[in-house]
Structure 1
Amino acid sequence: MADPSFRGTACGAALVGLARRYGFPLHWHRGFVLPVDRIDPEFRGPAIPPLAARVLAGFGRPGARVDAALIGRAAASVVTEPGRWADRGPAAVTLQHLKQLWHVLVRFGEAY
């Protein structure tokens, strides 16, 4: 099961290739999107809405909404560009917050 936000991306192509290579079906679920202004600070804490805004500004397009691929690009950046995230503290904390942002997306997001 894969998120449709990865269709047309390198990650999506890798998933398709793995499914073909190992002979398992790849299904795309309906996916979720969420506008930054609908990120609930009560659900996973007050650090999550500003993180969502930063992720969208750094990795999204104007007018885009938060989706799994966007969170994935940010998470990869935490590992490959640690200096970009140094002001947030330890990488492990930022990765945990990104996971919590994904929780918010799945809980409150709309169908893709």
Structure 2
Amino acid sequence: MDNIITFEDFSKVDLRVGTIIEINDFPEARNPAYQITIDFGALGIKKSSAQITTLYNKEELLNRQIVAVVNFPKKQIAKFMSECLILGAVDGKDVILLNPEHQVKNGSVVS
């Protein structure tokens, strides 16, 4: 493995649990995607874009908890500003969302 990081490198990544509170289609995206609004509790509300349309419909995503990186810089995607990165396992072209096994408080740290 060529890209080994130190624990100090890993500790800089702020992984948190949040609940999806709004989902919208994102027709301006190059690949099919949703615009997603997430409640991270005390950290506030953040938005993200996610290419998860092949396995998830909007109704099943609403109120679902997810894991995201919340300390990346904002990224412009078309006319949308993404403020966090939702995490998922990539299986071919599909993305399977990472989420806690049990309901936890929004903003909980993932370590």
Shared topology, TM-score over 0.5? no
1 or 2, which has the higher helix percentage? 1
Task: Tell me which protein shows more strand as a share of its residues.
Answer: 2
- TM-score, structure 2 length as denominator? 0.29
